[in-house]
C-alpha cells in the first residue's frame, strides 16, 4: 500500500543509528504480519499515562496486535486518563521541584509521573467504585476472573461513559475490551487497583481468590501461545523493560524446558525499545542475542534493539505499520 507522509518522512530521514534501527524494526514487524504472524506487545514504564493509546488503540482496531502484556499501572492508567483527563496536571519544570513541592502535590491528591500528575480523587476513585461492584458481583456468584477481565466488564458495561473526557477511540483499553483482546498483567498487585483489592481482602470484604493469580496468567498465556504459534509464529514487541516483558517472553522456555514440550516454536520476531544500560547486568538492557541462551529466540530470529525514548519511538513505529 502507498505509505502516508509520516512513513515517507521516516524512510527519507531515518538512515542511521537508532533511527535506522527504528525503520528496520518497523519493516520487520510489517513483514511478520504480512506473512501471517501474530504479535505480542509488552508495555512497561508509564506508557498509558504518556497517552500511547492514541496510536496503540488504532493498532488494536486494525488487528496489528494480537496480545498485550502490561503492568497493572498501564492497565489502569489508560482508563484513568479516559475518565479524568481534564483533571490531570502537567508540570513542564518537574526537574525543579523541591521535596516541599512534591509534598504539596501529595496533599493536593496528585501523584506525579515525571511531568504528569494523576488526580487521585477523580481518576482512582471514579474507577474504584465500579471495580468493587464487579468484584463483589463475581464473588457472590462464586466466579473468579483475571484482573483485565474485571476491567473489561466495567468498560464494556458502559458505566464509565458518564465520565469520559477524551475521545474513546484514543483509549487502548476501550478497543481491547471491544475485541476481548488477550492480556496478561503480571504483578497486578502492585498497581493502585491491585492495592485497593488487597485492602478489601485485608478488611474482610473480599476473598483473595476472587481475582485470579499471576500463575493463572502464565497458564492463560501458555494456552494462547500453543494455539497461535503455528505457521509464521508469534512476534514480541517490547516497550521498555521490567515484568511486562520478562513475564511473557519466558513462556517459551517454560514450555520447552519445564513441560518438556519439544515442539514449541521460539518467538519469531523480537524488538525492544529500551533506554536501559546493557553493561549494568539488567535483563531490560540485554542485547537480543542474550535471549538465545535462555531458549527464547533462535539464531535466525529477526532481532532489533532501538535504544531511545519509547514515548517518541513507539508512535512512529506504529504510524509506519499503519501506513500513516
Give just the sign of the alpha carbon dihedral 102, 166, 196, 176. Answer: negative
**b/e string for 242-251 if b means 16 or more Cβ within 10 A?**
bbbbbbbbbb
Domain tally, the chain: 1
Which of 206, 257, 204, 267 lies closest to 69, judged by CA?
267
Cα separation of 134 and 149, whole Å? 10
Q: pTM of this prediction?
A: 0.96
Q: What is the mean pLDDT of each run of 10 residues along the chain (324 residues)?
A: 94 98 98 98 96 98 98 97 97 98 97 96 91 98 98 98 97 98 97 97 98 98 98 97 95 97 96 85 80 93 96 98 98
Query: Which residue range is the domain that position 76 belongs to?
Result: 5-84+93-322
pLDDT at 285: 73
Site of grid cell 518537574: 94
189, 72 in Cβ contact below 8 A? yes
Cα separation of 323 and 34, whole Å? 13
- Domain holding 242: CATH number? 3.40.910.10
Which of 258, 252, 218, 256 lies closest to 235, judged by CA?
252
Amino acid at each position: 500500500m502507498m505509505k502516508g507522509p509520516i512513513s515517507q518522512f521516516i524512510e527519507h530521514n531515518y538512515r542511521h543509528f537508532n533511527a535506522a534501527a527504528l525503520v528496520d524494526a518497523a519493516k520487520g514487524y510489517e513483514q511478520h504480519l504480512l506473512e501471517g504472524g501474530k504479535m505480542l506487545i509488552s508495555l512497561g514504564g508509564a506508557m498509558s499515562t504518556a497517552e500511547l493509546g492514541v496510536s496503540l488503540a488504532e493498532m488494536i482496531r486494525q488487528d496489528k496486535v494480537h496480545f498485550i502484556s502490561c503492568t497493572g499501572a498501564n492497565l489502569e492508567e489508560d482508563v484513568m486518563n479516559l475518565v479524568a483527563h481534564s483533571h490531570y496536571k502537567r508540570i513542564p519544570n518537574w526537574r525543579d521541584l523541591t521535596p516541599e513541592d512534591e509534598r504539596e502535590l501529595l496533599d493536593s491528591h496528585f501523584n506525579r509521573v515525571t511531568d504528569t500528575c494523576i488526580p487521585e480523587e477523580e481518576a482512582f476513585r471514579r474507577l474504584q467504585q465500579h471495580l468493587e461492584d464487579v468484584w463483589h458481583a463475581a464473588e457472590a456468584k462464586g466466579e473468579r476472573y483475571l484482573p483485565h477481565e474485571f476491567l473489561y466488564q466495567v468498560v464494556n458495561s458502559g458505566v464509565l461513559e458518564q465520565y469520559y473526557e477524551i475521545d474513546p477511540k484514543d483509549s487502548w483499553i476501550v478497543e481491547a475490551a471491544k475485541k476481548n483482546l488477550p492480556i496478561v498483567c503480571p504483578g497486578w498487585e502492585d498497581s493502585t487497583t491491585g492495592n485497593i483489592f488487597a485492602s478489601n481482602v485485608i478488611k474482610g470484604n473480599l476473598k483473595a481468590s476472587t481475582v485470579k493469580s499471576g500463575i493463572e496468567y502464565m497458564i492463560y498465556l501458555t494456552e494462547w501461545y500453543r494455539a497461535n504459534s503455528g505457521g509464521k509464529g508469534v512476534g514480541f514487541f517490547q516497550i521498555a523493560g521490567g515484568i511486562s516483558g520478562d513475564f511473557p517472553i519466558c513462556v517459551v522456555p517454560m514450555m520447552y524446558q519445564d513441560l518438556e514440550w519439544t515442539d514449541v516454536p521460539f518467538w519469531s520476531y523480537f524488538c525492544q525499545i529500551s533506554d536501559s544500560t546493557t553493561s549494568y547486568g539488567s535483563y531490560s538492557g540485554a542485547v537480543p542475542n542474550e535471549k538465545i541462551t535462555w531458549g527464547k529466540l533462535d539464531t535466525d530470529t529477526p532481532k532489533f534493539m532501538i535504544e531511545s525514548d519509547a514515548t517518541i519511538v513507539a508512535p512512529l513505529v506504529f504510524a509506519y505499520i499503519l501506513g500513516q
